[in-house]
Amino acid sequence: MTGDIETTVLLPLPRIAGVDVSITNEVVLVWLAGGLTLAILLPVCRRRGLVAQGFYQNLMEGLIEFVEKEVVVEGIGEKGRVWAPFLLGIFFFILSANLLGLLPLPGLFKAVTSNINVPAALALVVFGLTLWLTIRRRGFLGFLRGFLPAGVPWWMGFLVVPIEVVSWLARPLSLAVRLFANMMAGHALVFVFIGMAAGSAWLLKPVPLAGAIVMNVFEVFVAFVQAFIFTLLAGIYIKEALEEESH
């Protein structure tokens, strides 16, 4: 076990350049979330037709069309359809990672998105992509000019530019922290209720157990909402990167 009681080392490995690369349950959960994402998307996308067949096909196509409509078409526009696979991949990966944490095996399963490293890695991918798109679209000088909004006098730059830079750099932080905090809080509350049930007299056990069940059901809703919000914000950042320079 590591310092976190929910993190179990499954395969200890030698450190590489001082970095612990041991295989933990969290690493395996990331792999499982990636595998689930492929297992969900590949069969559905290969069989997409005019009319969906069966409950699973209808459910998955409904989710895919919801993300495509709300994030891609309405968020980015028709030109953004090329980014639909990327955004769908993010949505279903986060959703899979969130839902895996609801499996009732706390020694092995957890919402791996409640480990800040996972949301931070996803946020950095989105941040790096939007940075590359912005520079490719506007050029490096155009990218730098973007920190001084149109209509702002040049002599106000010493005040405006630092604020714009900090705001821009805060994007990956806000993406990561929002997902991490929501999943960690919900996960912790479930375990608080379970702990209360374990330590309560038998007459009082139903109360915290009912609370744990209600929180678990609510966590399913939160899992969908947080996956959608992260994907929506990623789509907004991609849209801004694709827009023409406003100067």
Q: Which domain holds residue 187?
A: 9-242
pLDDT surpasses 90 at 123: yes
Residue 145 lies in a domain: yes
- Report the sign of the C-alpha dihedral through residues 50, 51, 54, 56, in that order: positive
Tokens linked to 121: 């890695």
Residue 2 lies in a domain: no
Q: Does residue 24 contact residue 7 with C-beta atoms inside 8 Å?
A: yes
What are the pLDDT digits (tens) for 71-105? 888 888 877 788 888 999 999 999 998 888 777 66
Residue 47 lies in a domain: yes
Q: How confident is the model at residue 3 (pLDDT cuts 50, 70, 90)?
A: very low
What are the pLDDT digits (tens) for 206-236? 655 565 566 667 778 888 888 999 999 999 8
What are the pLDDT digits (tens) for 12-35? 777 777 777 777 778 888 999 999
Give how many domains the chain has, as a whole number.
1
